[in-house]
Structure 1
């Protein structure tokens, strides 16, 4: 195997791929969105696949050569059933008649007013008798004493008032009737006789023509009774025998006259019957307007009878004869499957997919702090969405075949086994929770479309995907993925039961089969993730927790070479790893990533280990013979060399980033001060690392631990008090220099980090009791310690000349 020190400057394939993505990031992001959107539109658009349905009458009786299923949801109007429903609704509307209850009183009042009017006029004309007193009027016959001249006067008054009398009474009088009334002097007895006939007769239900009611004989009619002051009441009369027309009433009148007018003579009875016959009117009237209004309301209340067809429902089976019912379905589907309608549906699908992708993405970009996907992350999600659509479409075809083979089991039950949640688990396993949540929203929308706009299935995918993502947070073994698949399967089974109860159905054997398929779904999710995660790790250069565990193995070739060529650096890295892991746990960062990054952060020192104080031996310091500017270049080069080595060994971009950022843009103080002391023309930028500053909490932790560990090693006789002051001083110095301004560490986090560092370092550098040793051995030991201190004082970095305390002479901090 190639040694780290032999790494060439040639770019690796992964580096070339990364640079290509950086240059064409916008294009790659656009293509990722476009391809994922296009895939779901193609998979669900009715323009892509048209059903071939026979629709002519000649097809009746022929045998279908294939099983035809609905390509989407349809709601067809059953014209025959709708027509029948409307006819039934019209039959339920009974003809409306007005029954004027007050008509009897109205006629009575007219009789009284008319006779009173006429008698009053006669009395005015003949207001007194021979003695000068008012003459009585309204008697049956005039007294014999009344002269013929007076009779002529009464007739003249009657004739002059005849028109008004007829108007008030509401009828026309013939000459015979008028003469009889004049002879009777419009007697009150005649008035009472007429009223006694009218009132009982008008209580009957009287219609003008009974023929209109014959056709309603079976169903009856609706009567609205009209009282005074427009008060109304409704009732239905089923038996029409109680309703009489005018002719029947007149015949009834002739029968009752003998009993009602027994006190009257024949001429008077004839007059009363004649006038009463004219005064009797129909009190039941057909209301055509109200009847039509009610018929219209009845028709409008009839909703069209529809036939609901779900996507995947079998329209006709292979070998089944085509019937009139089949033809009716086929015609209805063809009417709805016009080219224009299919275009509208496709546009709707396109807009829905764009919204379901762009809205969560834009929102998360703006307001979710940890959602910052790189170009390759977007490419990954695009690939996963596209393959989820393809894989899901294939499994839907399998579900259709299973539904054909087991017709008693609905197709949607088989769909519970499609593992859409695998993508969400992969995104969480490879990236982070925030990104997986956005992916879950999108894939749920895709599942909703693929299953024919099944809202239940969309929520089924949403909940399953969230559980799948939750179950693999910080997964460190493949067994965690299998456990996550089982958790997903259990949740799927629960969701199947929940949806069944929401539909108001009972838990049957078919539902239990759906629960079992939900469990199979979870197992398939874990299998898909287990098999594809390593491929994605390698192909797209991702760093998962499982890959981190592999890199944490101290037998890794880079670490083995580091311990051989730069043992001091190796030991330093081990201590830094302990510091960052403890601090990461306290502040909620990724402890595993922090530890692995600490192992590899100084691998660039393998190329020139003797230029770094922790690796120098025998008191030889090569920096003594070169200029400070050259020393600074050598120190800075270990960052670049480390980045090249990390990329060559495919350690992963997060580790590369930490190597590049663990010094930020900090100043190499020792050699900068040395150059100033030599009175050289000094440019401060030449003595600063090229950066960038730490972008993540893990990078910041490595920077802080690197400086603290180096400073702690350079301080002799380090007790707890001095250790606490040293840690706080180093962290404050880095903070004041602005090196932490681009990561999301808070002051509270810095306090937790300082406490964690002190806790770990106190365990390493605590005071040990002195043991008795022979004088010679003790002397040798003291001499060796003095030599080591002398060597360290020559090679380690120092602090500012203004600060007399010990500092990082190793890197000049």
Structure 2
């Protein structure tokens, strides 16, 4: 049991990575479509690249989307509408007419008796309500068939058979045949206009239900391909019927109902592919980014972002696949570049797209566009802390999307007549969503404890609390740190390293000197040297402790680990040479470990640059009557000495880059001392 616990404690990092690997694989597989994958890639208008294809099973040919839409439109255009006939309104209208007539009719004023007028009025009412009265205006032609629903009975009539209220006056004139009864006509027109109410209205619910029933009854197929029949020959252009048949075969293949046995094989296949993708990620991190590989927080951060992009894309595809380009996939390389480096950002972006190839339709087109957009993101987004740069880069990414999609459309359709212009709007929305990178970066910094260039910009402010404290307690060290920051930043810019990170690291690399500021030469304001009263070994320990004190101070002030790395490595494992020599002269035998910094040695270009700049700037103060030639020899001697000690063995820096850094440091020191080139006498 103890051995098991010991094994678990020693290998907890690897065990966590194994758990993350398995969990991520299961989550991704859960989101992938549970159907077969069509093993052929084809494009409209392109030749068939494979051998002759024969139908592996019998299947139906699906109608094209445009054909189905036209059939649906035809059904809607020709559908017979349903109208409701209200019998109660007829009864109410007749009763209302008789009542009003009794109230207003005066025998002495009219040539026709009240009974005759009542009879004529009832005839008119009976006539107009024969098929029903309609008042609303519908866009139906007169000969359009309609269904008139009276209770449980349905009668088929033409739309023109319904009576319209504007024809009432004409109908009354026709009913009153006595030419001397003008007053009667006017009376009937007024009374009937008040009493006759529309009793026929369109039954929208029933009409739509009938239309939907007809649409659902549409046969989505237009033919059958028998098993063994040839579908397409090698080299044959995929267009027209061939393209539709291939699409039908692909849809049938992906929507097959899998047996339990097939389903397990399908899951095994998916698992192997997804695991292969994640294995490539782990191998890349272990070989090229070991500092990330051994940091579980950073590995978790990368996996979380991959899962987030796959999750969002899967949700969008399930809702409506045409919105798939709205998902701002370019946020992924942008964020990873902000926290790590461009190469890792692009690598993870490509791996994520490989996973999404199982999810999205038109996978080749999607993968091509997204990879190109990811490359553009990496190439264009620089100095993310400058807000204008992000807007410019998002504009460039959107343009690349539009150009790529337009090119694919031309290849597939051969014209722009049926171009889906709304897709360009999706690309614009994706670009706007990419602008959320800034708040997302801030969120990730708080959750995962990472640091981006935006945070580095904030840390580089010399008015920050910690740097103000350094300038008050150790003004000489603060001035030295500013000089080192300028030298290191210039060198980093010259070789393409992270200049902002180097500058921030340089500003904070000596904060440990605040504990005992007077034991460091740059802070001694008089000729009294505190080390004169100490043993060389004690003095060396105080000097060495400024690294340890610096790390503790940085952690108390919540400085990011990437900045703390500069404090730990800026002296590497070098000797405190001055006190080492004094001890050797005093006692002869000396243990070097008592005078050696704890390390570690620099493990990146940035930390190596700081070591060079720090050593050169500090030692340059000891030069008497500096000249250009002295500075050149001096810089060469210090950096060559560090190389001989193997201080840069763990840093991914080349000899060429070191030579470039030497040139920058020489030039900057000459500018600091206002030196010119020495001319021969």
Any conservation in 1 of the 2:382–2:389 contact (CA below 8 Å)?
A: no
User: Higher mean Cα deviation, 543-552 or 501-510?
Assistant: 501-510
8 Å Cα contact 1:492/1:519 also seen in 2: no
Note if 1:626 corresponds to 2:547. no
Q: Is the 8 A contact 1:40 1:386 kept in 2?
A: yes
- 1:606 CA displacement: 0.8
Distance 1:632 1:367, change over 3 A: closer
Q: Distance in 2 between matches of 1:28 and 1:388?
A: 22
Matched, 1:387 2:141: no
Give CA deviations for 1:548-581 in whole Å, capped at 9, x if unaligned: 1111111111111111000000111111111111
Rate the CA distance shift 1:22–1:381 in 2: closer, same or farther, 3 A. farther
Check if 1:491 corresponds to 2:491: no
Counterpart check, 1:580 vs 2:488: yes
Which of residues 473, 487, 498 is equivalent to 1:565?
A: 473
Q: Quote the residue 2:639 is aligned against.
A: 731
Q: Distance in 1 between matches of 2:565 and 2:11?
A: 18
Paired residues of 1:371 and 1:435 also in contact (CA < 8 A): no
Distance 1:545 1:754, change over 3 A: same
- Point out the more displaced range, 555-564 or 537-546: 537-546
- State how far apart, in whole Å, the 2-side matches of 1:621 and 1:36 are: 60
In the aligned structure 2, how far is the partner of 1:618 from the partner of 1:716?
19
- Is 1:504 aligned to residue 446 of structure 2? no
2:381: which partner in 1? 472
Q: How many matched pairs? A: 487
What displacement does 1:369 show? 10
1:34 equivalent in alignment to 2:22:
yes
Residues 371 and 564 (structure 1), Cα distance of their counterparts in 2 relative to 1, 3 Å cut? closer
Q: For residues 412 and 327 of structure 2, what CA distance do their matches in structure 1 show?
A: 21
Query: In structure 2, do the counterparts of structure 1 residues 332 and 320 end up closer, same or farther at CA, with 3 Å as the change threshold?
Result: farther
Change (3 A) 1:388 1:21: farther
Q: Which of these residues, 335, 352, 368, is aligned with residue 459 of structure 1?
A: 368
Q: RMSD across aligned C-alpha pairs, in angstroms? A: 3.6
Structure 1 residues 505, 576: CA separation in 2 closer, same or farther (over 3 Å shift)?
Answer: same
How far residue 721 of structure 1 moved from its aligned partner, in angstroms, is 2.0
Task: Return the offset for 1:517.
Answer: 0.9
Output the CA distance in 2 between the equivalents of 1:24 and 1:576.
39
2:342 equivalent to 1:433: yes
In the TM superposition, residue 686 of structure 1 has moved relative to its aligned partner by 0.5
Mapping for residues 329-344 of structure 1, pairs under 5 Å: 336-344=257-265
CA displacement 1:584-612 (0-9 Å, x = unmatched): 22222222211211111101101110110
- Superposition deviation, residue 658 in structure 1: 1.2
Superposed CA deviations along residues 103-132 of structure 1, whole A, max 9, x for unmatched, are xxxxxxxxxxxxxxxxxxxxxxxxxxxxxx
| Contact 1:35/1:386 (8 A) holds in 2 | no
How far residue 374 of structure 1 moved from its aligned partner, in angstroms, is 4.0
CA distance in 2, matches of 1:333, 1:586: 54
Q: Residue 544 of structure 2 aligns with which residue?
A: 636
**How far apart, CA to CA, are the structure 1 residues paired with 2:355 and 2:465?**
45
Taking the aligned partners of 1:661 and 1:748, their CA distance within structure 2 comes to: 22
Match of 2:354 in 1: 445
What is the alpha-carbon distance in structure 2 between the residues aligned to residue 579 and residue 606 of structure 1? 22
Q: How does 1:405-420 map to 2 (within 5 A)?
A: 411-412=321-322, 414-420=323-329
Per-residue CA distance 1:237-288 (angstroms, 9 max, x = gap): xxxxxxxxxxxxxxxxxxxxxxxxxxxxxxxxxxxxxxxxxxxxxxxxxxxx
The CA deviation string for residues 275-332 of structure 1, in whole angstroms up to 9 with x for no partner, is: xxxxxxxxxxxxxxxxxxxxxxxxx999956435999x99999954654947999999
What do residues 50-79 of structure 1 show as CA deviations (whole Å, max 9, x unaligned)? xxxxxxxxxxxxxxxxxxxxx88899xxxx
Query: How big is the shift at 1:498?
Result: 2.0
Over 3 Å counting, the alpha-carbon distance change for 1:650 and 1:471 in structure 2 is farther
Kindly report which structure 2 residues correspond to 1:579-598, keeping only aligned pairs within 5 A, or say none: 579-598=487-506
Q: Kindly indicate whether the alpha-carbon contact (under 8 Å) linking 1:489 and 1:522 is maintained by their aligned counterparts in 2.
A: yes
Relative to structure 1, the CA distance from residue 393 to residue 366 in structure 2 (aligned partners, 3 Å threshold; closer, same or farther) is: same
Conserved in 1, the CA contact under 8 Å of 2:36 and 2:255? no
CA distance in 1, matches of 2:274, 2:362: 12
Residue matched to 2:454: 546
1:740 corresponds to: 648
Q: Deviations over 1:406-427 (max 9, x none)?
A: xxxxx43x22212222222211
| Cα drift, residue 33 of structure 1 | 2.8
CA distance in 2, matches of 1:44, 1:486: 32
Separation in structure 2 between the aligned mates of residue 724 and residue 324 of structure 1, nearest angstrom: 86
Name the CA distance, whole Å, in 2 between partners of 1:473 and 1:22: 40
Bigger shift: residues 332-341 or 414-423? 332-341
Distance 2:267 2:639 in 1: 59
Give CA deviations for 1:610-669 in whole Å, capped at 9, x if unaligned: 110110122222111121111111111110111122223232222111110110111111
User: Distance between the aligned counterparts of 1:333 and 1:596, measured in 2?
Assistant: 54
Is 1:345 aligned to residue 266 of structure 2? yes
What SS does structure 2 have at the residue aligned with 1:450? coil
Of 635, 644, 651, 2:559 maps to 651
1:362 to 276, 283, 303: 283
| CA–CA distance in structure 2, aligned partners of residues 667 and 502 of structure 1 | 67
Paired residues for 1:607-756 under 5 Å: 607-679=515-587, 682-756=590-664
Residue deviations 1:360-412 (CA, integer Å, cap 9, x gap): 6536755799996743332111100111122223323442xxxxxxxxxxx43
- Cα gap change, 1:378 to 1:334, in 2 (>3 Å): closer
3-state SS in 2 of match to 1:689: coil
Q: 1:590 to 1:324 in 2, by over 3 A?
A: closer
| 1:170 aligned partner | none
Q: Secondary structure at the match of 1:503?
A: helix
Q: Which residue pairs with 1:154 in the alignment?
A: none
Q: Secondary structure at the match of 1:35?
A: helix
Which residue matches 1:518?
A: 427
Segments of 5+ residues of structure 1 without an aligned counterpart are 1-19, 47-70, 76-299, 400-410, 769-813
The answer on 1:396 being equivalent to 2:314 is no
Residue of structure 2 in register with 1:307 after alignment: 61
Correspondence for 2:166 = none
> Would the alpha carbon gap of residues 479 and 340 (structure 1) be closer, same or farther in structure 2, given more than 3 Å must change?
farther
Which residue matches 2:13? Answer: 25
Q: Distance in 2 between matches of 1:314 and 1:35?
A: 43
Q: Is the 8 A contact 1:45 1:342 kept in 2?
A: no
Summarize the Cα distance change of 1:720–1:332 in structure 2 as closer, same or farther, 3 Å threshold.
closer
Distance 1:394 1:620 in 2: 72
* Partner secondary structure for residue 336 of structure 1: coil
Report if aligned partners of 1:662, 1:699 keep a CA contact under 8 Å in 2. Answer: yes
SS in 2 for 1:701: helix
CA drift of 1:495 comes to: 2.0
Q: Normalising by the residue count of structure 2, what TM-score does the alignment of the two structures yield?
A: 0.65
Structure 1 CA distance for aligned equivalents of residues 485 and 372 of structure 2: 38
